[in-house]
């Protein structure tokens, strides 16, 4: 299976926007890109066609016609982790084997698959399984989405640490929702420090925009990302001048 798994350091960091933006950019290059949101929760069903708004956005950006049951096999009508939602009787418990099976079917159908996670990498899916374990079974490399707000170093380092614990391949980090013209010296240094401490390449820095959509984000990713390397799944090593091998070993 050829593709990536988009995870985040927390809920609300912009995983869906980044995943949809990347899907849009690849479609623009005539790549047959598939999308998937294996697990989703919300306080209401979004539409007759798509239970999750995130799935609807991903499908529109990638222009796929795959059924919602394949794109989003597990949906819960309450804003909670799949574990808690299923315990509150808002749906059947997650079946990891079924989710992996649905993902592999989409991976065979499309040339490249973009799967988006739910919350962070350690969100519990069942009593004994979390998102990281699912990604391990699916065999996809990870792209981490984070933001430049206060606390991001802690959240990003913990996410990288969890990915390494589960032996997941990290393709890189995307810094989302930054200021268009950062005048805060801390924000200016965030990307540098993240790359130096994690030894993971910062793939792109996406400025916050009130009217941002997947197309505008896709245009930023077109400029910042080496899409050819991403598609070939080549290892993306830190290349910024400040990257070094003396950072914290996490």
Phi (first) and psi of residue 92, to 5 degrees: -70, 150
Beta strand ranges found along the chain (DSSP E)? 3-8, 33-36, 39-41, 74-76, 112-120, 142-147, 170-178, 202-207
- DSSP 8-state secondary structure symbol assigned to residue 94: P
What angle is formed at CA 217 by the lines to CA 212 and CA 163, rounded to 5 degrees?
A: 115
Distance between CA atoms of residues 250 and 244, nearest Å = 14
Residue 243 contacts residue 196 (beta carbons within 8 Å): yes
194 contact partners, CB below 8 Å, separation of at least 6:
146, 152, 153, 156, 173, 175, 200, 202
Q: Which of 15, 28, 30, 37 is catalytic?
A: 37
109 is catalytic: no
Residue 126 contacts residue 98 (beta carbons within 8 Å): no
Catalytic residues: 37
């Amino acid at each position: 299976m050829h593709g990536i798994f988009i995870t985040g350091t927390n809920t609300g960091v912009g995983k869906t926007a980044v995943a949809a933006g990347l899907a849009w950019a690849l479609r623009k290059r005539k790549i047959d890109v598939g999308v998937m949101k294996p697990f989703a929760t919300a306080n209401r069903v979004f539409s007759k066609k798509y239970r999750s708004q995130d799935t609807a956005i991903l499908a529109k950006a990638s222009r796929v016609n795959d059924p919602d049951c394949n794109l989003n096999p597990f949906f819960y009508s309450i804003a909670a982790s799949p574990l808690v939602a299923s315990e509150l009787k808002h749906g059947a418990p997650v079946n990891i084997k079924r989710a992996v099976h649905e993902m592999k079917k989409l991976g065979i159908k499309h040339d490249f698959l973009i799967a988006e996670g739910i919350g962070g990498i350690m969100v519990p899916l069942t009593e004994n399984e979390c998102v990281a374990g699912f990604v391990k079974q699916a065999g996809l490399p990870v792209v981490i989405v984070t933001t430049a707000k206060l606390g991001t170093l802690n959240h990003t380092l913990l996410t990288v640490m969890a990915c390494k614990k589960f032996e997941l391949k990290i393709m890189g980090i995307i810094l989302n929702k930054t200021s268009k013209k950062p005048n805060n010296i801390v924000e200016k240094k965030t990307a540098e420090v993240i790359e130096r401490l994690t030894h993971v390449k910062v793939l792109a820095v996406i400025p916050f925009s009130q009217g941002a959509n997947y197309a505008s984000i896709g245009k930023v990713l077109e400029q910042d990302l080496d899409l050819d390397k991403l598609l070939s799944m080549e290892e993306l090593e830190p290349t910024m001048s400040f990257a070094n091998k003396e950072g914290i070993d996490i």
